[in-house]
Structure 1
Amino acid sequence: MRSFHLSWMAFFLCFFGWFAHAPLMNSTIGPDLDLTKDQKIIAFIASVGVTIFARLGVGNLCDKIGPRKSYIYLLTFGAVVVSASAFVTTWEMYFVSRLAIGVIGASFVITQYHTSVMFAPNVVGIANATSAGWGNLGGGVTQIMMPLIASGMLAAGFADSELSKWRPAMFVPAILMLLVAFLYWKYTTDCPKGNYEDLPEERPQAAKGEKSLFMSAVSDKRVWVLFAMYAGCFGMELFVNGRAATYYQTKFALSENMAGGIAALFGLMNLFARSMGGWLGDKFSKTGGLEGRVKWLVAVMVVEGMALVLFSRMDYLPFAITAMIGFSLFVQMAEGATFSVVPFINKKALGSVSGIVGAGGNVGAVIYAQYLLRSGSSLEECFLIYGIAVSVIGLLGLTIKFSEADEKSAIEEQEKLEAFEASLQNENIAI
């Protein structure tokens, strides 16, 4: 449980730092650096795009050195680059800074890896979903907190002007990341038995003559189907997190604080929605096995796409907010459902599978942002098109199949866990 709580806290802070620039872009960062509209979108693409490669690398790193060291290194790196962004003065420097900050988006992979190895198969779905969901809250909380932190820095005299108040604000997430890096080093282990460096037999590794763990994940078609599906759910969440405040400011002429507050509702649904998706994945597996997890994922993604289409059609602010909350519920349940399936694809190469699937979310976000940049379409039109695409992508999940041996193994493991839980209950009754 220490690993569970510290992993979501680390993920929360990485997301907080990763998206710390978004709510301040139009009001302070853009004018301070004299950024054009295209440069703002390119900066977002850079920050999200580099995470694709970071997630692939971090997933492989987890398999090799374990999640504990991987997270400590990533948090320390994140603290350095987020605080360093306060010193940029040109577009070129800002672009490089956002590229570096994007690396901390790989934190998701470590969180999912760590909870997957720490929790039993009958609860791994809700464990993964809850740790990721509470971590994702960082993307919503930053929409509210960063404008307040920046204003507080100005009021406290740490900034010279309204336009420069964002600079000292960047030190807040950086300091918190360093604090959690220390706690991660002190209070977590790689797996329930201890650390990989002390227990090399616990570290996953390919048998002699087999493909490397990374290549075994790459060659599995199911991994790439989940990659595409995660692009349809988490990729869309990333895109909306980066553009929601701007959408409400431009379409409904709202102030920065009001738009940021409404946009935060989208991310705040992670408090329970992603957990619900993983929990229901665990429930459906009891009656439908691994195939039951997959069918639940397909269903929730199809509905997600429909909800996004509905949101794109809303012109009245209260209806738009309601539709956005409904869409947020399904997009985050789809994310939880995805990672209730991932731990059963290839247990030996869990880090690599998690990294590839996680990278799919960033690929999706980059594609959505590139289309917005190059098509000339409005955000409203893009949401309509993306909603249709998400529903179609969701149907790809029907091609995910498990062998009879995998299904049998999952059933046997489920029965063993139920028997163990029953024995514990009997012992408690006897006591």
Structure 2
Amino acid sequence: MLGEMWQFRGRYKILHITWFAFFLSFVVWFNFAPLATTIGADMGLTKEQLATLGICNVALTVPARIIIGMLLDKFGPRLTFSLLLMYASIPCIMFASAQNFSQLVISRLLMGIVGAGFVIGIRMVSEWFPPKEIGLAEGIYGGWGNFGSAFSAFTLATIGGFLAFGAPGANINWRACIAGTGIIAALYGIFYLFNAKDAPPGKVYRRPKSARGLEVTSKKDFGFLLLMNVPLTGVLMLVAWRLMKLGLYATGTMYIIWLALLGLYLFQAYNCWAVNKDLLSGKKRYPADDRYDFSQVAMLELTYLVNFGSELAVVSMLPAFFQGTFSLTPAKAGMIAASYAFMNLVARPGGGLISDKLGSRKLTMGVVTGCMGIGYLLLSQVGSGWFLPAAVVLTMFCSFFVQAGEGSTFSIVPLVKKRVTGQVAGNVGAYGNVGAVLYLNIFSLLPGWLGGGADPSPAIEAAANMRFFQIMGVAALVVSALCFVVLKEPKGSFAEAHHDEEHDVNPSFTPEPALGVEKL
């Protein structure tokens, strides 16, 4: 595959135009962080308001990834990705034209939906590549596309300065940058619509009977599914609380939002029941080779929480961290901080390739998650007395294992159950944003906790940074241990083809054995 990868035809064309679609969605999604200090100065925002915008940026991605997963299973990734890229221009233009903090919050919440684009390509790539190559293919898609966040951090501050043309008022540069990224994404969405295909010629794109909720194959798994959906709602309640604390609305309004979110959870639970009611009533029983173990989905959700969740949090805070720790300009801090996301180019494909070649996707997942935890614990020791290049090297070391873990996670996701890959990817992907919201809230609250509520001094901010990296390191080590205990090696991990593909023309074909299920 490595030798053929540079061809721009067949499945490799689909891979390349899809990772670039993901790349543009991340350029749009992360166009705030590198311009945050400029936006704050221009709009008169406090540090807490800027931190809240960072949280809003990832909040609605939680439900969006669930919904996008359902839509792409039903309508296919070509149409879903194209429409999402076109939609991206709307929150970009809204944010670029905002005149107050409330407008910034609303547009940034809507921007979070764009972050759901990652899920779409997971299903697209799994349709075009066999299981034995799925790790590297998904790694290239995820890693090269994820580089969009690094591209934003590395270039937007510089481009914004160029666009100012020495004019008074910082609003000219950042507004042009953010609006421009949305317009470019929309134009590419039109290109993708006319150039992508949902599946190779002669292959049937397999859809679930219903995309209203995730299909499970045992009664106990239904309860487990409802339990794992609780954090998806809880994290949105946390965002509502943060916005109330900033004075955007009163406590009573927050309670109304909480009730609405509770209603949303119950509606989601009802849809899951509707999809699985025959199973729960005993009218339907899945044969052994058509079952999958939902505990494996839950385990992948946790791995993505600690790896991608931490990446989103670190990408959002790292420019300010380097700027404050080493007294750098915003442009220099943004470029150096981009070294963290820069590793996506090699680390995520590397994680997928290791998963393909090592012969055990479970072992790969456990090892890279553990190394990620160690990397964060080492990063917690970085301070103003450090040699800057050494800090950059350590950042890249940590980043390699974070993104290799992401590649390993999504080398397993397409092997759980083919017909619901979109929904599984959506659930796993949503947990990445759960982790991001949790980590970003912890990061924004740590200075106040450590400083007793007073305005944090530089020493308190440095201590908060250290604790933040330590929290992420310990969480990763805990999940690494769970990988070795709970995670199971997927069936057919290294096969020449997905088990159902060669039988797509035969409706009587028995579906493939699923992840972690032995034949009875």
The interval holding the TM-score normalised by the smaller chain is: 0.7 to 0.9
Q: Residue 215 of structure 1: CA displacement? A: 3.3
Q: Is 1:233 paired with 2:307?
A: yes
Q: Is 1:95 paired with 2:105?
A: yes
CA distance in structure 1 between the partners assigned to 2:493 and 2:363 by the alignment: 16
CA distance in structure 1 between the partners assigned to 2:482 and 2:348 by the alignment: 21
Paired residues of 2:122 and 2:414 also in contact (CA < 8 A): no
Q: State the AA in 2 paired with 1:14.
A: S
- The counterpart of 2:194, out of the listed 170, 178, 186, is 186
CA distance in structure 2 between the partners assigned to 1:121 and 1:388 by the alignment: 32
CA distance in structure 2 between the partners assigned to 1:190 and 1:176 by the alignment: 23
CA distance in structure 2 between the partners assigned to 1:415 and 1:61 by the alignment: 22
Q: Is 1:393 paired with 2:479?
A: yes
CA distance in structure 1 between the partners assigned to 2:54 and 2:382 by the alignment: 25
Paired residues of 1:82 and 1:101 also in contact (CA < 8 A): yes
In structure 2, the gaps of 5 or more residues are 1-11, 226-293, 451-463, 500-520
- The counterpart of 1:203, out of the listed 193, 202, 206, is 206
Q: Residue 402 of structure 1: CA displacement? A: 4.7
CA distance in structure 1 between the partners assigned to 2:182 and 2:212 by the alignment: 36
The residue that corresponds to 1:9 in the other structure is 20
- The counterpart of 2:141, out of the listed 113, 127, 131, is 131
In structure 1, the gaps of 5 or more residues are 286-291, 417-431
CA displacement, residues 363-393 of structure 1 (integer Å, 9 cap, x when unaligned): 1111101112223252222112211111111
Find the residue that maps to 2:31 and give its secondary structure. coil
The residue that corresponds to 1:147 in the other structure is 157
Q: How does 1:74-85 map to 2 (within 5 A)?
A: 74-85=84-95
Change (3 A) 1:188 1:46: same
Q: Is 1:347 paired with 2:418?
A: yes
CA distance in structure 2 between the partners assigned to 1:328 and 1:411 by the alignment: 27
Deviates most, 136-145 or 373-382: 373-382
Find the residue that maps to 1:313 and give its secondary structure. coil
The residue that corresponds to 2:214 in the other structure is 214
Change (3 A) 1:258 1:410: closer
Q: Is 1:356 paired with 2:427?
A: yes
Q: Residue 413 of structure 1: CA displacement? A: 4.3
Q: Residue 115 of structure 1: CA displacement? A: 0.6
Change (3 A) 1:66 1:163: same
Q: How does 1:358-377 map to 2 (within 5 A)?
A: 358-376=429-447
Change (3 A) 1:171 1:411: closer
CA distance in structure 1 between the partners assigned to 2:212 and 2:22 by the alignment: 28
Q: State the AA in 1 paired with 2:336.
A: I
The residue that corresponds to 1:253 in the other structure is 327
Q: State the AA in 2 paired with 1:172.
A: G
CA distance in structure 2 between the partners assigned to 1:62 and 1:415 by the alignment: 19
The residue that corresponds to 1:273 in the other structure is 347
Paired residues of 1:15 and 1:135 also in contact (CA < 8 A): yes
The residue that corresponds to 1:309 in the other structure is 377
Change (3 A) 1:67 1:267: same
CA distance in structure 1 between the partners assigned to 2:342 and 2:15 by the alignment: 19
Paired residues of 1:229 and 1:396 also in contact (CA < 8 A): no
Q: State the AA in 2 paired with 1:12.
A: F
- The counterpart of 1:224, out of the listed 271, 274, 298, is 298
Paired residues of 2:138 and 2:411 also in contact (CA < 8 A): yes
Change (3 A) 1:349 1:400: farther
CA displacement, residues 93-132 of structure 1 (integer Å, 9 cap, x when unaligned): 1000100111100011011111111111111111001111
CA distance in structure 1 between the partners assigned to 2:498 and 2:69 by the alignment: 30
Change (3 A) 1:282 1:182: same
The residue that corresponds to 1:288 in the other structure is none
Paired residues of 2:42 and 2:170 also in contact (CA < 8 A): no
- The counterpart of 1:71, out of the listed 65, 70, 81, is 81
Find the residue that maps to 2:418 and give its secondary structure. coil
Paired residues of 2:135 and 2:407 also in contact (CA < 8 A): yes
Q: Residue 206 of structure 1: CA displacement? A: 3.8
Paired residues of 2:130 and 2:497 also in contact (CA < 8 A): no
Deviates most, 215-224 or 29-38: 215-224
Q: State the AA in 2 paired with 1:366.
A: V
Change (3 A) 1:298 1:188: same
The residue that corresponds to 2:9 in the other structure is none
Q: Is 1:175 paired with 2:162?
A: no
CA displacement, residues 288-345 of structure 1 (integer Å, 9 cap, x when unaligned): xxxx101111111001110111111123022211110100111111110111111111
Change (3 A) 1:415 1:383: closer
CA displacement, residues 215-255 of structure 1 (integer Å, 9 cap, x when unaligned): 32974121111111101111111111101000011111111
- The counterpart of 2:173, out of the listed 159, 165, 189, is 165
How many residues align? The count is 396
Q: State the AA in 1 paired with 2:484.
A: L
CA distance in structure 1 between the partners assigned to 2:498 and 2:181 by the alignment: 44
Deviates most, 319-328 or 370-379: 370-379
Q: Residue 49 of structure 1: CA displacement? A: 1.5
CA distance in structure 1 between the partners assigned to 2:417 and 2:439 by the alignment: 29
The residue that corresponds to 1:21 in the other structure is 32
Q: Residue 351 of structure 1: CA displacement? A: 0.3
Q: State the AA in 2 paired with 1:191.
A: A
Q: Residue 180 of structure 1: CA displacement? A: 1.3
The residue that corresponds to 1:426 in the other structure is none
Find the residue that maps to 1:349 and give its secondary structure. helix
Structure-1-length-normalised TM-score: 0.87
